Structure 1
Amino acid sequence: MPRRSRYLSGTLIASALLLTSVGLGTVAANAGPTETAEATGPAVHAGHTMAVSTKSSPEDPDGDGYIPANPPVTGVSPSTKEPPHRYFHEFQANCSVTHTAPDDPIVYAQQPGKSHDHTFMGNRTTNAYSTTASLDAGTTTCLAPGDRSGYWMPTMYNGDKPVLPVGPQVIYYKAGVTDYTSVRPFPKGLRYVVGNPMQSATEFRNHKGFVEGWECGDSFFNVDFPKNCPSRPDVQVNIRWQAPSCWDGKNLDTPDHKSHMAYPVVNPGTNNNICPADHPVALPMIEFKMAFPVNGDLSKLRLASGPSYSFHYDFFNAWDDRTLKAMVDHCIVGGLQCDARGYDQTHPEAGAALNDRYELP
């Protein structure tokens, strides 16, 4: 079904903002930039509970927070080309909820129960001890068996009752840059946090990942949960939120879980979206479109991370390399609007990247 597909730029967030997951606590709506967390334990700044983000793990044995890519991607310059216009260059990863747990294998690796509660999708095995190897060996609720990635976000509550998305959720993989032909697959093991659970309402609204905020019925662009949500079976609370899509080519993770990634910037010469020079590698732009089965009175709605504007999510890539490359090349580089098997109904002549079992033919 046709729908809007776009990259929305917003005000740049202060570089000191820490994109990490935190325990549920008081979130100051007018708090400013925060300081880097110390590895010794939580510290309180401006009413926020800071996250411990450094601890030794199988993939980060020295616990410095850096996980280098092996091999790194070098010799890449941001593409300023403008290929033939195609309104769509995307595919979907449709993944269902697997479980909830107070774990976060990115921010609180090897520390079970340390995080606020998360709702996990995709890989069934995701927990505090997850590594690239463990996810690669796991199974998935994504329609494509080759997508063993972990996707998670703070659990939503209506009062004390969890509100869990039902059925496969829409996770778009899009081109965030104008030259969609320059987009390449994620490196195995890449991980990052999108958004900031400690952001203020204004920072949430002005974040580059903001698309339409919280939606319900005919109410869009909300920072807070909508106050008027029709009590109808077909109405749910939705949010759309986009991830950065430019990579430094060097690190699969960094101590703040965000510095190795960047949002595209506008090339002043052409007004095209390009990757910045220090993050020149164009990767797919993930966009969460989550649907929560709740409507009517939303006065008791909250997130495990705090208020509505504390929304954020995590991504840990564990796609089968060949499957992901087939989807990226066919759908994003090919300028198509694909479903979860890489098929574009408006271009049946292009065929599909995957077979009827969502696997490589």
Structure 2
Amino acid sequence: MCWKYLAALVIAAPARALIRFSCSQLVIDRLDPLVNPGVAPSPHLHQIIGGNSFNQTMDPAKDMPGESTCTTCQFTEDLSNYWTAVLFFRARNGTYKRVPIVPNIGFEGAEGGMTVYYMQNGLADFQQDSKVTAFKPGFRMIIGDPLTDTIEGARKFHQVTYTCLEDLGTRFPETKDFPKKPCPAGIMANIRFPTCWDGKNLDSADHMAHMSYPASGTFDSRGPCPGSHPVPVPQLMYETIWDTSQFNEPEDWPEDGSQPFVWSFGDTKGYGTHGDYLFGWKDDALQRTMDTPCYVNCPTLATQTIADQNKCKIEPTVKEDIDSWLTALPGQETMRLGR
């Protein structure tokens, strides 16, 4: 649904909690403290937002929000970390160029990063009247699998999709693979996490088993949680707008008609897209917000300016060139180019 149309609906109706906010870029680095804790460099490049205590270990026993002195997110109580892989353009000569990120509607001026949502019901449901339990300190999760290279594998992860943007208000259709044609305003990568928690474990070995999709129906249709994962939690969603428009010249695309974009872990189809989350809201700020009638912005939360969120940065741990035309993706010199 077009965000501008959704906003018009909201004006006419009371609402409970759905928050939508901008987080600027914290760092682009080859670190992954969930999948490869303590490893530097990790196998592939990530773009990371949130609190500036982000590091290669992220010990769950430590007070992460207390360690951060700033956040790249609009709401200052949110010191969580959110990250995804990085998108590259592959030229006909086999070299790679990192695709820049542009801000979403309403967040002009943000430097890179993503738009983050926490929802009680579906995005188009402006009533947002479900009761959800906020994530707890130490909570973390992943959705998607970088080793997935088939449509069947991608379909295991619901609502992890792409949108070919005609303009920045485009929201449909969504596809499970990269768009096969040039997109005038870029490609939006949409990451939506499962919404049912087992109520016990803050993490699991694969960072996914403690979470589940509804037993029937969908999150948008308010399907019930299964008995194994009975606790409804907010749906966490990322939108990242990759500015692929500068790579839309037909003569730059592969001669065989295939699309030229590739994730930083070597995926040329798009089926392996994934997102990582490490909870870090201060005190009860997220639960308080989910219990408060508010839409998009919320009076329970302190808001900083985009200029201030842009100031929160950390230096990359792994020192390498990621901005020139590269002969190989960072860390992927032996990647499977044909997959």
TM range (shorter): 0.5 to 0.7
- Percent identical across equivalent pairs? 24
Match 1:174 to one of 101, 106, 119? 119
Residue identity in the other structure for 2:300: A
Bigger drift between 167-176 and 302-311 goes to: 167-176
Amino acid corresponding to residue 162 of structure 2 in structure 1: G
Q: C-alpha deviations, 1:38-76, integer Å up to 9, x for none? A: xxxxxxxxxxxxxxxxxxxxxxxxxxxxxxxxxxxxxxx
Please report the TM-score for the alignment, with normalisation by the length of structure 2: 0.68
Q: 1:2 aligns with which of 2, 5, 13?
A: 5
Cα offset, 1:106, TM superposition: 0.8
Answer whether contact 1:190 1:317 (CA < 8 A) is retained. Answer: yes
Pick closer, same or farther for the CA change 1:163–1:124 going to 2, 3 Å: farther
Once residues 181 and 301 of structure 1 are traced to their aligned partners in structure 2, the CA distance between those partners, rounded to angstroms, is 39
Structure-1 residue corresponding to 2:239: 289
Whole-Å separation in 1 of the counterparts to 2:277 and 2:58 = 12
Does residue 337 of the first structure (1) align with residue 295 of the second (2)? yes
Residue 169 of structure 1: how far off its partner (Å): 2.3
2:318 is aligned with 1:353: no
Mapped to 2, the partners of 1:267 and 1:273 lie a distance apart of: 5
8 Å contact kept, 1:208–1:263: no
- The structural deviation recorded for 1:276 is 0.9
State yes or no: 1:262 paired with 2:215: no
Q: Residue 237 of structure 1 aligns with which residue?
A: 187
**CA distance in structure 2 between the aligned counterparts of 1:97 and 1:357, rounded to whole angstroms:** 15
Change (3 A) 1:257 1:135: same
* 1:121 and 2:49 matched: yes
Does the 8 Å contact 2:155/2:176 carry over to 1? no
Between the aligned partners of 1:106 and 1:292, the Cα distance in structure 2 is 24
Q: Taking structure 1 as reference, are residues 259 and 300 closer, same or farther at Cα in structure 2, changes over 3 Å only?
A: same
1:201 equivalenced with 2:150 (yes/no): yes
Question: Contact conserved, 1:112 with 1:127, CA < 8 A, in 2?
Answer: no
Contact 1:176 1:273 in 2 (8 A): no
With the length of structure 1 as denominator, give the TM-score of the two structures: 0.64
**1:114, distance to aligned residue in structure 2 (A):** 2.7
Deviations 1:249-302 (A, max 9, x none): 11111111110111122279xx85111111111111111111111221464311
Equivalent residue in structure 1 for 2:75, among 144, 160, 167: 144
| Residues 146 and 355 (structure 1), Cα distance of their counterparts in 2 relative to 1, 3 Å cut | closer
Going from structure 1 to structure 2, the CA distance change for 1:239 and 1:147 (only over 3 Å counts) comes to: same
Q: Does the Cα contact within 8 Å between 2:76 and 2:301 map onto a contact in 1?
A: no
Counterpart of 2:175 in structure 1: which amino acid? N
Residue 150 of structure 2 corresponds to residue 221 of structure 1: no
> Where does residue 196 of structure 2 map in the other structure?
246
Quick one: which of 64, 85, 95 aligns to 1:135?
A: 64
Determine which of 261, 269, 272 is the counterpart of 1:301. 261
Separation in 2, partners of 1:357, 1:94? 10
Q: Report how far residue 164 of structure 1 moved.
A: 3.6
Matched to 1:170, the amino acid is T
Q: Measured at CA, do residues 194 and 323 of structure 1 come closer, stay the same or move farther in structure 2, by a change above 3 Å?
A: same
Paired residues in the alignment total: 258
CA contact (8 A) 1:204 1:210 kept: no
Structure 1: gaps (5+ residues)? 5-84, 343-351
For the structure 1 residues 277 and 135, does the alpha-carbon distance in structure 2 shift closer, same or farther, using more than 3 Å as the test? same
2:281 pairs with 1:319: yes
Would you say the 8 A contact 1:146–1:323 is kept in 2? yes
3-state SS of the aligned residue for 1:120? strand
Alpha-carbon distance in structure 1 between the residues aligned to 2:149 and 2:28: 25
Q: Distance in 1 between matches of 2:223 and 2:116?
A: 21
C-alpha distance 229-204 of structure 1, shift in aligned 2 (>3 A)? farther
SS in 2 for 1:326: helix
Q: Is the 8 A contact 2:88 2:98 kept in 1?
A: yes
Give the CA deviation at 1:180.
Answer: 4.4
Deviating runs (4+, > 6 A) in structure 1? 85-88
| Equivalent in 35, 44, 48 of residue 107 of structure 1 | 35
CA drift at 1:156: 0.9
